[in-house]
């Protein structure tokens, strides 16, 4: 049981590092450019772009866990590993594909990791939308004051 928990902790750490690197990249991109959020379409394009990047991060993280399952022969093939990992990470949990008994503790740990990373993405998106609303409010106030 201890080796499996050690592996799970390592997978969790790598997952968090991937997510942190992705969020840092988004922040650099958004703060490094003089973004004009003066139109609905510009705001929408920024939000869609961020959503794509966040989704991509989650898919990479799901892939990380899936490759581990496939490498350790926890599941019969890579497709099953990707499917299981996606269903587990998102906590959808169909239950039609299961890990081997030796590795079954990783399933709940991947699900908890997925919940945390999804919560982090939602929080990030919420802060971004809050900033956009704040910028728009400031722009409107500045135009009314002139």
Residue-wise pLDDT tens digits, 4-50:
889 999 999 999 999 999 999 999 988 865 556 667 888 888 899 99
The DSSP symbol for 36 reads -
The mean pLDDT of the chain is 89
Q: Which has the closest alpha carbon to 99: 137, 73, 130?
A: 73
As its CATH architecture, domain 2-33+48-145 has Orthogonal Bundle (1.10)
Mean pLDDT of 62-82: 96
CB distance 97 to 80 below 8 Å: yes
CB distance 111 to 93 below 8 Å: yes
Tokens for 94, please give them.
Answer: 């169909």
Residue 32: per-residue pLDDT: 63
Largest CA distance in the chain: 69
**Least confidently predicted of 28-32, 53-57, 109-113:** 28-32
């Amino acid at each position: 049981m201890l080796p499996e928990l050690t592996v799970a902790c390592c997978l969790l750490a790598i997952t968090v590092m991937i997510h942190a690197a992705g969020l840092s990249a988004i922040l650099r991109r958004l703060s490094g450019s003089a973004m004009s959020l003066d139109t609905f379409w510009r705001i929408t394009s920024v939000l869609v772009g961020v959503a794509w990047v966040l989704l991509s991060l989650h898919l990479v993280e799901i892939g990380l866990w899936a490759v581990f399952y496939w490498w350790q022969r926890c599941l019969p093939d890579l497709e099953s590993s990707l499917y299981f990992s996606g269903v587990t990470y998102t906590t959808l949990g169909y239950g039609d594909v299961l890990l081997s008994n030796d590795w079954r503790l990783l399933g709940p740990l991947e699900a908890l990791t997925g919940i945390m990373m999804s919560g982090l993405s939602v929080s990030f998106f919420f802060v971004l939308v809050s900033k956009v609303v704040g910028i728009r409010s400031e722009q409107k106030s500045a135009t009314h004051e002139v």
